[in-house]
Amino acid sequence: MRRICAVTVAARFPVSTTTLRRLAFANILANVLIVVTGGAVRLTASGLGCPTWPRCTDASYTATAEMGLHGAIEFGNRLLTFAVGIVALAVVVAVLLHRPRRRGLLPLAVAVLLGIPAQAVIGGITVLTKLNPWVVGLHFLASMVVIALAYVLWRRIAEPDGPTVPVVPGPLRTLAVITTAVCVAVLVVGTWVTGSGPHAGDGGAARNDLDPEQISQVHADGVFLLIGLSVALVFAFRAVGAAGPARAALVLVGVEAGQGVIGYVQYFTNLPELLVGAHMLGSCLVLLATLAVLQSTRERKPIVTPTPDVPTARDTATERSDPVPA
């Protein structure tokens, strides 16, 4: 009965592939947006604008006038979590209503949806630990995981359901995987740099006790390695005639160059809030561009349905001319 009702609803409210992909793209944008607004909370020292969780205060779930601008900013970011969750839920519903049903889409859509409350819980732990820098870093990295899942879902919608086949030689795909791993390492070390810097999210929040100059140098070394690997991918893909992967790698180099410029300028200008916020946005773009390169190294083929052998006129005539055994 439930299956019949689901089929009936899907028939009455069909969701096209175009609509589904637009919703999936909105899913990516929403999760990037909440990273940027979360950065704004920290950069305006509003991290403890709501000093507890899940309530904003011990007596109220919402910010009060007495809490001022910091309370409004922190509470506004919490409200935005619900908006992001609504977008993720809309994607799940659209996947269920899309016909024909696509295998592999629903697990990805549900994973993104479940990532939203998981992020809210980590955000709550961040508040309850008074903005512990390691938990703050985990909060950011969890957002990166959700963004990655949302991107894979968006790409998967446009692909057929057949097997994946590589479009570049194995060693180059391995190089793309290594580049992706280095990108993840750069993001992780970036949270350590943030945890050692001045923007704690609140005047009384602790720092991670790492030397800012030393950990910034480690981060910069990782960025140089990432850019070097990305440039190598551009030339390697071009050498084997893989135009699509080469374009994706070139875009990645451009995004990394822009992010590097922002990083150096913010470092030598004493980390102005606006540039730090732009750097957080750039981190999301670097991740997305890296995933685009990795995805470009393979393609998915349509499912080939075997057709039954139909005898031709020649086959029939041959069968009739065969001698009958004595």
The tens digit of pLDDT for each residue in 291-318 reads 999 999 999 888 776 656 555 555 555 5
Beta bridge partners of 166: 298
Residue 275 confidence (pLDDT): 92
pLDDT at 12: 60
Q: How confident is the model over 271-285, as a mean pLDDT?
A: 93
Indicate whether 5 pLDDT > 60. Answer: no
Confidence band (pLDDT; 50, 70, 90) for 64?
confident
pLDDT at 187 over 80: yes
48-74 average pLDDT score: 88
Range name among 9-13, 277-281, 296-300 with the lowest pLDDT average: 9-13
As a whole number of angstroms, the longest Cα–Cα distance in the chain is 107
Task: Please give the Cα distance from 306 to 64 (Å, whole number).
Answer: 66
pLDDT at 314: 57
Identity of the amino acid at 58: D
Nearest-Å Rg of the Cα atoms of the chain is: 26
Which among 138, 106, 113, 98 has a CA at the least distance from the CA of 30? 113
Domain chopping of the chain, boundaries:
1-160, 167-300
Residue 326: predicted pLDDT: 43
**What's this model's pTM, rounded to 2 decimal places?**
0.88
Residues in a beta bridge with 268 = none
Give 317's contacts (C-beta < 8 A, 6+ positions apart).
none
CA–CA gap between residue 247 and residue 58 (Å, rounded): 53
DSSP-derived 3-state class of residue 98: strand
**Orientation of helix 105-128 relative to helix 68-97, angle to 10°:** 160
Q: What does the H/E/C string look like for 99-119?
A: CCCCCCHHHHHHHHHHHHHHH
Mean pLDDT value across residues 39-57: 90
**pLDDT average, residue stretch 130-139:** 94
Q: What is the pLDDT of residue 151?
A: 98
To the nearest 10 degrees (0 to 180), the angle between helices 133-157 and 273-296 is 40
Question: Which is more confidently placed, 98 or 202?
Answer: 98
Q: Annotate 167-187 with b (16+ C-beta within 10 A) or e (fewer).
A: bbeeebbebbeebbebbeebb
Contact 284, 150 (CB under 8 A): no
- When the pLDDT of each residue in the chain is averaged and rounded to a whole number, the result is 89
Q: How confident is the model at residue 153 (pLDDT cuts 50, 70, 90)?
A: very high
Query: Nearest-CA neighbor of 210 among 227, 230, 196, 199?
Result: 196
